[in-house]
């Protein structure tokens, strides 16, 4: 029987959790969960300057929010702890020594300025800027002279000069790379920290990683990784390089295309199950037309054989569409847990609403959920439920609120609704239809101006249900005020809010 599957997500904590990283994490997690394997979280903080604690927290938070749990990791430990690379320096020391002793690594005394100068010259000659391997064959005397100058050496790995390195990729097949194109790589910086190439190889081996699934931007890194593994005598894991995520203009996804930070999607009111579903479909297909899947459904169906090497377009519209579908399926409690803090932050609700208010917000959500593509829209075009400070859209002004007869219709509606002893959907509908009849107009000519006045818009959920959710006096008050505004010509200019 094959070894149990062990995969890892190995982010560098140098910023927020990018959706591209979340995508990589998700594919590893799905692969592990589908096969009953192990998902490891390893923090690759070998960039001492750019790594931050906040970024580590953002990674934990982002993964947890998406629903990706890990079996081994810095916070929970595991058989190969520690899982944070800055705590593994002694492990790396042992491994540089092995390569130094076998002659596959050597000390390099070139300073950053000298290296940059030489790279400049290579670029000017139209050559790819690679290290010229000049410290490979320093004599003892040369080394001693550098040491005497006070230079601190880095350790470099001696790459192969000839032949090719073949990446055997589960998604892309075999990819041969010409060894002569890459110069010797630094594996230990002068600071004593490893470079990414080195720590990733050592840790993947020591942590028994069986499959390395990561973005296609890592393909060129896999060449030195394979050579390092060979130099150590490690058996390489299987590799799978996922297609890149692109913006709609087919260039690599970046902040130019909109939000790239997973947390921004959370703040917008995308549900975690949406992001898992949407990200899974970037590069993986279900094999049929079914696209709206629960995370459990994805785990069941996921495998690498339907993962494509082609880049995928991060289509925000599709993300919103999928979110709309998940909003319909979500529990009311989940939607409330997202909506309440958003409404509170927008100043539209108490931070800890009463139980009654929470029930009421739940009713608003239930009325709106078929139309909602993000929970965030409640603070935008759902504002009129929560405040009198809503705007009157141009369409509402043009079609209804600027019409001379509207003021009278609104007053008649106010009067009829005010007189209602019961504030129920049926009673409201009866009253509105009555007004239309008495005024000799079609039902629409009472319903639409009423909606325009009370909500500022021309579209929305069932008017009678919506009115019933608002306090009786609020509806009557709004109708009266808007009637006055109509008479005063307030809707001739764009953008008044109620009472302006």
Binding site for ligand GLU (CB under 6 A): 10-12, 44, 196, 200, 214, 218
Judged by beta carbon, residue 241 or residue 448, the one nearer ligand GLU is 241
Q: What is the DSSP string of 129-172?
A: -----GGGG--HHHHHHHHHTTPPPEEEE----SSEEEEEETTT
Nearer residue to ligand GLU within complex by CB, 21 or 33: 21
Tell me the C-alpha distance between 326 and 265, whole Å. Answer: 14
Longest dimension (CA), the chain: 108
Closest separation between CB of residue 218 and ligand GLU, Å? 6
> How far apart are the C-alpha atoms of 22 and 447, rounded to whole Å?
46
* Eight-class DSSP state of 106: E
Q: Tell the smallest beta-carbon distance from residue 262 to ligand GLU (Å).
A: 14
Indicate the residue among 28 and 273 with the shorter CB distance to ligand GLU.
28
| Shortest CB 196 distance to ligand GLU, Å | 6
If the CB atoms of residues 198 and 384 are measured against ligand GLU, the closer one turns out to be: 198
Nearer to ligand GLU, 72 or 393 (CB): 72
Contact 44, 59 (CB under 8 A): no
Task: Report the C-alpha gap between 203 and 302 in whole angstroms.
Answer: 26
Say if CB 334 and CB 301 are below 8 A apart: no
Residue 24: CB minimum distance to ligand GLU, A: 7
**How many C-beta atoms lie closer than 10 Å to residue 186's C-beta?**
19
Q: What's the closest the beta carbon of residue 222 comes to ligand GLU, in angstroms?
A: 9
Instruction: Name the residue nearer to ligand GLU (CB basis): 42 or 397.
Output: 42
Min. distance of Cβ 212 from ligand GLU in angstroms? 6
The closest of 307, 287, 305 to 297, measured between CA atoms, is 287
- One-letter-per-residue 3-state SS of 197-257: HHHHHHHHHHCCCCEEEEEHHHHHHHHHHHHHHHHHCCCCCEEEEECCEECCCCCECCHHH
Could you tell me if 279 and 23 are in contact, meaning their C-beta atoms sit under 8 angstroms apart?
yes
- Give 241 or 397: the residue with its C-beta nearer to ligand GLU: 241
Complex with ligand GLU: residue 30 or 396, whichever CB lies closer: 30
Task: For residue 210, give both structure tokens.
Answer: 């069986």
Phi and psi of 491, rounded to 5°?
-95, 5
Nearer to ligand GLU (CB atom), residue 10 or residue 84: 10
Looking at the DSSP bridge assignments, the partners of residue 157 are 105, 185
Closest CA to 447 of 480, 400, 488: 400
**Shortest spacing between CB 417 and ligand GLU, in angstroms:** 60
165: region left, alpha or beta (phi > 0 left; psi from -120 to 50 alpha): beta
Minimum CB separation from ligand GLU for residue 28, in Å?
9
Nearest distance from C-beta of residue 250 to ligand GLU, angstroms: 22
- Taking the complex as a whole, the smallest distance from the CB of residue 214 to ligand GLU amounts, in Å, to 4
Q: Which is it for strands 154-157 and 105-108: parallel, antiparallel or unpaired?
A: antiparallel
261: three-class secondary structure by DSSP? strand
CA atoms within 13 A on the CB side of 423: 12
Q: Between 203 and 411, name the residue whose CB sits nearer to ligand GLU.
A: 203
Nearer to ligand GLU, 193 or 423 (CB): 193
Q: How far is CA 423 from CA 172, 348, 420, 465, in A?
A: 65, 23, 7, 10
Shortest CB 51 distance to ligand GLU, Å: 10
Cα within 13 Å of Cα(342), Cβ side: 22
Smallest gap from Cβ 59 to ligand GLU, in A, equals 10
Give 196 or 384: the residue with its C-beta nearer to ligand GLU: 196
Cα(454)–Cα(462) distance, integer angstroms: 13
We find the least distance from the C-beta atom of residue 200 to ligand GLU, in angstroms, to be 5
> Of 44 and 468, which has the nearer Cβ to ligand GLU?
44
Q: Which of 213, 212, 115 is nearest to 156 (CA)?
A: 115
């Amino acid at each position: 029987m094959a070894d149990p599957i062990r995969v890892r997500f190995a982010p560098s904590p140098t910023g927020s959790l990018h959706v591209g990283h979340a995508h990589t994490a998700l594919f590893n997690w799905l692969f592990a969960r589908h096969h009953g394997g192990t998902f490891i979280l390893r923090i690759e903080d070998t960039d001492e300057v750019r790594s931050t604690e906040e970024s580590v927290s953002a990674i934990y938070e982002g993964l947890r929010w998406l629903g990706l749990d890990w079996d081994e990791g810095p916070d929970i430990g595991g058989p190969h702890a520690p899982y944070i690379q800055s705590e593994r320096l002694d492990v790396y020391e042992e491994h540089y020594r092995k390569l130094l002793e076998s002659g596959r690594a050597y000390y390099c005394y070139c300073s950053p300025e000298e290296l940059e100068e030489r790279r400049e010259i290579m670029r000017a000659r139209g050559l790819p800027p690679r290290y010229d391997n000049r410290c490979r064959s320093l004599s003892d005397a040369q080394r001693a002279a550098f040491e005497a100058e006070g230079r601190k050496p880095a350790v470099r790995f001696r790459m192969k000069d000839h032949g090719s390195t073949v990446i055997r990729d589960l998604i892309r097949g075999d990819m041969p790379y010409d060894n002569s194109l890459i110069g010797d790589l630094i594996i230990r910086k002068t600071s004593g920290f490893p470079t990414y190439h080195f720590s990733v190889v050592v840790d993947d081996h020591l942590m028994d990683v069986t499959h390395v699934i990561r973005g296609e931007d890592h393909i060129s890194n896999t060449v030195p990784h394979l050579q390092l593994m060979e130099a150590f005598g490690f058996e390489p894991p299987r590799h799978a390089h996922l297609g890149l995520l692109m913006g709609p203009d087919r260039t690599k996804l970046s902040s130019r295309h909109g939000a790239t930070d997973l947390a921004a999607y959370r703040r917008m009111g995308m549900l975690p199950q949406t992001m898992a579903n949407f990200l899974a479909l970037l590069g993986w297909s279900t094999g049929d037309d079914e696209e709206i899947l629960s995370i459990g459904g994805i785990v069941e169906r996921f495998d690498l054989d339907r993962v494509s090497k082609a880049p995928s377009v991060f289509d925000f519209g599709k993300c919103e569409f999928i979110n709309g579908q998940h909003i319909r399926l979500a529990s009311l409690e989940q939607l409330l847990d997202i909506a309440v803090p958003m409404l509170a932050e927008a100043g539209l609700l108490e931070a800890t609403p009463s139980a009654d208010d929470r029930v009421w917000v739940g009713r608003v959500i239930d009325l709106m959920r078929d139309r909602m593509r993000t929970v965030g829209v409640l603070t935008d075009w759902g504002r009129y439920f929560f405040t009198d400070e809503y705007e009157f859209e141009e369409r509402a002004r043009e079609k209804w609120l600027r019409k001379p007869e509207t003021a009278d219709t609104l007053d008649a509606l106010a009067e009829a609704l005010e007189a209602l002893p019961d504030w129920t959907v049926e009673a409201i509908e009866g009253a509105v239809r009555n007004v239309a009849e008495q005024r000799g107009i079609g039902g629409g000519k009472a319903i639409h101006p009423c909606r325009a006045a009370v909500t500022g818009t021309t579209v929305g959920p069932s008017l009678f249900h919506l009115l019933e959710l608002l306090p009786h006096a609020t509806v009557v008050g709004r109708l009266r005020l808007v009637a006055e505004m109509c008479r005063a010509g307030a809707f001739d200019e764009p953008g008044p809010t109620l009472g302006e």
